[in-house]
Amino acid sequence: MNVATPEGFRNITPAELVALAPRPRIIDVREPDEFTGQLGHVPGAELVPLATVLTAAQPWDRDQRIVVACRSGARSARAASSLVALGFKNLMNLAGGMGAYVEAGLAVER
């Protein structure tokens, strides 16, 4: 994995994501129509739109490994920064988002 960003999370590639064991929790911060749309989502990902992520994250384990994803990696980076501010310690951002994930030829759900 890459070195942590100044914001306190790591950017990982799609290949690094699928190689992670045990599998981390995957949070997709796109909107519902994007989650089920053309790009689909990482199998097993949970849909938590960006506007709701801070509220939804309140009961989550702050030490759990979490990968945040979106279409391009920008919204998920914002979500990851916000989660770090809430005290989450093991956050990763899917660099390039679902665009890079699909381009890598990895399996998706719709």
CATH number for position 62: 3.40.250.10
User: Distance (Å, rounded) from C-alpha 91 to C-alpha 65?
Assistant: 6
Residue in 78, 35, 33 with CA at minimum distance from that of residue 53 = 78
Domain that holds residue 29: 10-103
Instruction: Using pLDDT thresholds of 50, 70 and 90, give the confidence band for residue 36.
Output: very high
User: Distance (Å, rounded) from C-alpha 65 to C-alpha 86?
Assistant: 14
59: in domain: yes
**Structural domain count of the chain:** 1
Q: Across residues 84-108, what is the average pLDDT?
A: 97
pTM to 2 decimal places: 0.94
Residue type, 102: V
Whether 92 contacts 10, CB under 8 Å: yes
pLDDT at 16 over 80: yes
User: Distance (Å, rounded) from C-alpha 64 to C-alpha 41?
Assistant: 21
